[in-house]
Amino acid sequence: MKSKVRSFTKLRAKSRALEAARAAHQRLIAELQRTQAELARALTLRDEFMVMVTHELRTPLGVMALEVMLRQQRLAKGDLAWFSPERLQSMLDKDGRQVRSMTRLIEDMLDVSRLQHGMLSAAAAPTWPNSRATWWPTSKTSTDRCRSASSPGPASSVTGTTAASPRCSSTC
């Protein structure tokens, strides 16, 4: 009789252990499913971001490509009068805006990458009265950067706008 009780006790213990293992297995499956859903959402957001980036880069590149083609056609026709000082200045201004737009976008993408890889630190700074400058997160490997409050930067979408620090003047 003792051996039957002992066998029953061992079976009962194994059954409880099996139930505990099954419950742990179910928790792991649920966690895996949540993680897979998060990963799918992250991949969707990445894909949407890449579509937006592609569009934002193609727009200034398209404008610049058309401007180059127009200038080449004017030069091929020998129409040097079309390249007046005022028009040349206008061309340079447009080109500069397009280059700044693309550079800003690329810098924003690099900031996102640095943030993901722990190479960018973000810290809030106190607001200084009447300051138009904004202090943005800085790279651990580069010097502090600041941008005018009138030009949006990557931090406004990542950490929110932080205020100017004493290290950043409104003329940077």
CATH number at residue 76: 1.10.287
pTM of this structure: 0.50
Q: In the chain, what is the straight-line distance between the N-terminal and C-terminal CA atoms, in Å?
A: 90
- Is 57 found in the same domain as 86? yes
Based on its alpha-carbon atoms, the radius of gyration of the chain, rounded to whole angstroms, reads 30
Residue 132, domain extent: 123-172
Give the domain-ending residue among 100, 117, 134: 117
Dihedral sign (CA 129, 131, 135, 136)? positive
145 and 99 share one domain: no
Is the confidence at residue 159, as pLDDT, over 60?
Answer: no
Does 102 lie in the same domain as 30?
yes
Check whether 91 has a pLDDT greater than 90. Answer: yes
Distance of CA 6 to the CA centre of its chain: 63
The per-residue pLDDT for 122 is: 67
Do 148 and 99 share a structural domain?
no
151 in the same domain as 73: no
Read off the pLDDT of residues 50-69 as tens digits, 9 standing for 90 and up. 888 888 889 889 989 999 99
Q: Output the pLDDT for position 53.
A: 86
**What's the structural domain count of the chain?**
2
The two structure tokens encoding residue 2: 């003792």
What is the pLDDT at residue 119? 83
145 with 125: CB under 8 angstroms? Answer: no
pLDDT of 94 higher than 60: yes
